[in-house]
Structures are given as structure tokens and as C-alpha cells.
Amino acid sequence: MLQPTDPLSTSVLPSGESGQDGPPAPAATTSPALAQRDWFIYWSVVRAQALPLTQAGQLRKRALRLINKRLLWPDPSLEGAARESAAPRLHFIRLLLQELGLLIQDHSKVRTSHRRAQVPEFWRKSVADRARAALDAYVGMQGWTEWSSPDMSPFDLDLAQARRTLLEQLRVLEPMTWVPRERFLSHLATVVPRLLFDSRISHLLRASDDSFAGIKGQGRSLTTIQAAFVDQALSGPLHWMGLLDTSSEKDRLLAFRINLSAAPVLRVQPDLEGTERAGSVEEEELDAEYKVIVQPNFQVFALGPVPADILARLEMFADRIKADRSAFEYLLSRQTVYRGQQDGIPVQEIVAFLEQTSSVPLPQNVLRTLREWGQRHERIVFHRSVSLLQAVTPDLLEQLWDDAALQMHFQRRLTPTVALIRGGRWAAVQEALLKRHMLPASLQNGDPCAGRVQAMQDGELRPVPAGPNLLLEACLRRLAVERDGGFYVTEAAVTEALAGGMTVVEYLDRLAALNGGPVPPGLESRIKAWGHYYGKASLREATLLEVKDAATAEELLADPELAAHLSHFAGDSNGRTLLLHTDDLGALRSLLQDRGIDLT
């Protein structure tokens, strides 16, 4: 947690001069609850899909636009920003969420640090506790700087200590009272003149007329530098975290105030008069009751200050289609419910959650439809690590099924030639088949299709060994067409595979894996031709000029009249051959003859 600085360094602004009732210009009001709505939306976007980073470690412009258009308060600087750091609010929110452990930078992308079906503990905290955690994170944040233009790299500035000191000075102010910027800066100059610089650096700056080489050209004095830091901190992170309301004109901070919601976060004790004067709106925002309403048209409204953990849970199986400062609107659909089921949330749990948060039973049509969706999704169930028995013919499977010694190991028939073996019974089935002088071909875990065919020059893919193979047939259908009881690589098969997103290289790799070795050269050439592997090319005639030596070639290239028509020929290591770039060979021939060059 934040620790107070030296108590002797704090001082309340002079009585009667601490501030004013109204802002000098239009005010940008906020609160921790409102600010955290945008943090939640940012985190929710990343939870839905990891976002790519540039080589410089910044989010790409397309990803920033995706986030910005969903925020309640978009960053207006994004449109003209060439990089993420030029959109400071967006950049700060990402760094803050990373500092809080909600996002992580993983190789070339940013993703959430928790599983999609997991709600981080941070969103279960109260608004005030989240704001305190964010304030602590901001104080120690190393990836963020309050500097927008001056290069402060020559100094090893302790920004964390400067932020702590600034917060200590904010704690002596009265909440909901506007403080003019100039008055606050004068106060800081008196109470904490070394907000940024220690005595050694301050002495160095004074010795060089309060400036140093890196910023001298910009006329940045010590006072100006510290004022820039304070301005950026007040109108930037502290405002973006919902702690300070600001009043600005043409991007220049004129005044600020601590809003009442921020008082407990900053540990500021407001007087009773101030609480009565301005507490109602802020308290209503933090303490008012919320409602979750499920409509018969499958819309879900989250009204008021709905806790973030409820919103996070709701977004696992519903799509947010609209959001503002007072309400989030969601839509339930078959696809969103299926998404929730894939993340491990069964329909009965979705129903229970909606009824619990809305405090009323669901509309009958919604309840009935949710259950129908759940039943449809459960009609197709993937069973892992199962054992199957495939017979050559339906008659053979019928014979095995009627065998009492084998039937006890079968669970059910799947097709006329395939039966599901009970768990753990494969060894017993294999032993029973051997006793009946039947040697089964066994396929274990791994790639069941690797090395199972022999690719012929004519495109036929012959199974090795011959016989039925349910999994192999599925593999072959991705690469070949079935005809005359076999599978063949044809132009139509290659075209269909490429239309499905496969490349020629991937096709050849998969075919080589099936073949257990290289594809026959003739077949490989035809596949490359069918897939237009080599792309387009143009066939042109070229005229070359060969001179006696490289020095002569360089002189001709330096000739103003000839330079536009000649260039080095890359295929000549001796430098004597030049490539001609003109259709008027007669004119070029005349120019060369004028220079005494006899052409042969």
C-alpha cells in the first residue's frame, strides 16, 4: 500500500485559498466506478481474442480501433496516432491491466492471464478496493512515463517517489472543491520544490541556468519540467482512474478537484458540509441497487452498478451489443450458449445464474429454448480415448456380436461394420480374436494414418495393409476422391483441398505422411501444376551489350545520354555485360557508334 512521505513536507493550502466552487471551463467529471467500466470492457475484448503486438511491443492500430470503438469514453487521440503510445489513455489502460495481473504480454500478443471461463479475483472486489489496487499499481508502474516531449533519459528519476509525493499533497485537499492549477503548482513549489530531482541534480540544473543540454534547446526549466509532470499526472492517470475531475481549455489543464468517490481511495476525509453538498450523485453511483432483467426476446439488461464479476460471468454465454454509463445490453443466442458450454458451463448452470441475478424466474419461452439448445448441443458428444472394432463386412461383425465370449466386451454398434468396445476391454477382445485365429490390425494412439498408404505415379493411394480402416478413410477423403473402390489424387481433389484453405506445401506434406515417405516425383509435379504452385511468370526477350572490360562498362553507365538505357546484368560476375532498357535499338546503336564503339 502507499506509504505517506515525511509529515513535515505536507502542508494544507492557505485557508480560504484552497479552491473555488465552480470550474473555470467545462469540466470532465468521472468516478472510479465509471473508469472501471472501461477497464472491464478493455479486458473483455482481450478475453474474447488475444491481440497482436508490433515488433516494438505495442498494440497494432487495428486492435486499438477494435477496443476504442467499444469503450464508453474512446480515446480521441487514436485517429491521428501512429503508434499505441501516441494514444495515451488506451496505452495506460493496457499497462495498468498488465500491472494488475489481468493481462499478460505473451510473445507477439496480449492475452488475459486467466482461462476464459475464469473470473479473476480483481473483478470480485469492491469499486474502492479496485481503485486502491490500481493506484498502487500506477505508483510503481515502470512502463509508463508522464513525459510527452522532453527527453529525461540523462536523469535517473524516481517517478514512483514523485507520484507518492504528489498523492500526499492531494490528500490535504478538500474533496469536491475546484483547485486552480497555478495555485496548486505554487503550493508544490513551496512545499516540495524537489518533487522530481534530488539535491545533486537540482544543483546541476542551477549551475547551468536551470537547464541542461538535452532540453536546453526547448527552454525547459526545472519548474517547467516539474509542472509538466504534475499536469500529465493530474489530467492523465489520476483522471483516467476516476479520482480527479478536471477542467481544461484547448488541452490545457486549468483546474481539478477530488471527486467524492475518490476520497476514501485517497484516504481524504471530507467535511460534513461537502458531503451534503455533493455526495448524493456519487453515492448513488456506488451504492444504488442494480438490476438484471431477462426479456422474452432473449435480451438481457444489466442496469445500474452491476458488479463486474456478474458482467464477466454473463459475457461467457451472451454477447454484449450495447453499453453506456448506466446499462449494459446483452443478447442470448444458440451460438453464445454453445460458447458457454464449450467453456464448461452447462445450460442448467446458465439458467440458475440468470434466475439468481435477476431474482425472478426466466420467461417461459426463454427457459424452454435454453433447454432445447442444451439438448441439441449434447446430441453430438466427443468421447476421447475409446476403442473401436471395425469388421470387413456387416456379416462378420454380426458373427462376432453373436459370440457370447465377445458380446460382453461390446458396448454398442455404431455402424453395420463398427462396434464400440467397453472401456478397458480392448486387450480381452484382442485375445478372444486370436483364439478364433483372427489376427486384428491394431492402431494405437498417435497419427493413425501415417505410412498407411502407398502413393502410385497414377495418383492411386493403396492402403497398407489392405483392409477396412475407418480413420484412414477419413484422412484420405481430405486429399483424394473415391472411385472404383479406391482413392485417387486428382485435379478435382487438389482443387477442393486448396479451396478449403490448404496450401500446396501442406497438401504435399500430408500426402507424404500418409505415404510414409516422399511423394513420387511425377505425382508431385502434377499436384504442383494443379495447385498453380509456381504462380505466374512472364517470358521476355532481352538484349545484352558486352564490352571489353568492367571499367568500360562503368564509364558507359556514367554517360548521361546512355545511363537511362543501360544497367548492370546481374548474371555477369566480371561486370562486362550490360542490360539494355530501350525498344529503339537503332538510336542506341547510333549513340554507341558516336563514341567509337564498333558493334558486331
pLDDT, tens digit (0-9, with 9 covering 90-100), for 135-148: 999 999 988 988 75
Render pLDDT for 570-593 as a digit per residue (tens, 0 to 9): 888 888 999 888 878 888 888 888
Residue 343 — very low, low, confident or very high, per pLDDT cuts 50/70/90? confident
- Taking alpha carbons only, the member of 289, 314, 291 closest to residue 302 is 291
Boundary residue ending a domain (266, 301, 328): 266
Task: Enumerate residues 6+ apart whose C-beta is below 8 A from 489.
Answer: 455, 459, 461, 479, 480, 511, 523, 527
* Domain match, 360 and 395 both: no
d(CA 321, CA 324): 11
Residue 445 located in a structural domain = no
Question: Three cell numbers at 306?
Answer: 452491476
pLDDT > 70 in the chain, percent: 85
Residue 539 located in a structural domain = no
d(CA 531, CA 502): 10
Distances (CA, A) of 574 to 195, 275, 557, 579, 580: 68, 89, 15, 14, 17
* Domain match, 427 and 515 both: no
Question: How long is the chain?
Answer: 600
Question: Three cell numbers at 14?
Answer: 492557505
Buried b (16+ CB within 10 A) or exposed e, 264-292: bbbebebeeebbeebbeebeebbeeeeeb
What integer best gives the mean pLDDT of the chain? 84
Buried b (16+ CB within 10 A) or exposed e, 384-421: eeebebbbeeeeebeebeeeeebeebbeeeeeebebeb
User: Which amino acid, residue 217?
Assistant: G
d(CA 184, CA 255): 9
User: How many H-runs (helices) and E-runs (strands) does the chain carry?
Assistant: 26, 21
Residue 19 confidence (pLDDT): 54
- Taking alpha carbons only, the member of 288, 174, 157, 173 closest to residue 229 is 157
Task: Enumerate residues 6+ apart whose C-beta is below 8 A from 32.
Answer: 127, 128, 130, 131, 241, 242, 243, 261, 262, 265
User: Which amino acid, residue 292?
Assistant: V
Q: Is the pLDDT of residue 206 over 60?
A: no
Residue 330 confidence (pLDDT): 97
Comparison of pLDDT for 278 and 271, the residue scoring more: 271
* Contact status, residue 170 vs residue 258, Cβ threshold 8 Å: yes
Tell me which of 283-287, 295-299, 378-382 is least confident: 283-287
d(CA 118, CA 345): 11
From its phi and psi, is residue 456 left (phi > 0), alpha (psi between -120 and 50) or beta?
Answer: beta
Q: Is 369 exposed, middle or buried (0-12, 13-18, 19+ CB in 10 A)?
A: middle
Comparison of pLDDT for 386 and 174, the residue scoring more: 174
Residue 104 — very low, low, confident or very high, per pLDDT cuts 50/70/90? very high
* Domain match, 357 and 502 both: no
d(CA 52, CA 31): 31
* Domain match, 555 and 580 both: yes
Residue 466 confidence (pLDDT): 60
* Contact status, residue 13 vs residue 173, Cβ threshold 8 Å: yes
Distances (CA, A) of 243 to 88, 261, 324, 364, 450: 17, 7, 20, 44, 62
Residue 155 — very low, low, confident or very high, per pLDDT cuts 50/70/90? low
* Domain match, 81 and 229 both: yes
Distance of CA 560 to the CA centre of its chain: 54
* Domain match, 431 and 463 both: no
Residue 121 confidence (pLDDT): 95
Residue 3 located in a structural domain = no
* Domain match, 549 and 515 both: no
* Domain match, 208 and 313 both: no
* Domain match, 51 and 192 both: yes
Counting the structural domains of the chain, the total is: 5
Question: Three cell numbers at 255?
Answer: 483546474
Is the N-terminal amide bond of 465 cis, ω within 30° of 0?
yes
* Domain match, 521 and 548 both: no
Residue 136 located in a structural domain = yes
d(CA 273, CA 262): 17
For the beta sheet containing 453-455, the strands, ordered from the edge strand earlier in sequence to the opposite edge, are 453-455, 460-463, 486-488, 481-483
Render pLDDT for 523-568 as a digit per residue (tens, 0 to 9): 999 999 999 998 888 787 888 889 999 999 999 999 988 888 899 8
* Domain match, 254 and 116 both: yes
Tell me which of 109-118, 187-196, 446-455, 483-492 is least confident: 446-455
Boundary residue ending a domain (497, 530, 563): 530
Residue carrying C-alpha cell 460471468: 313
Residue 440 located in a structural domain = no
Domain that holds residue 430: 389-435
Distances (CA, A) of 476 to 452, 497, 498, 504: 10, 11, 15, 16
* Domain match, 522 and 552 both: no
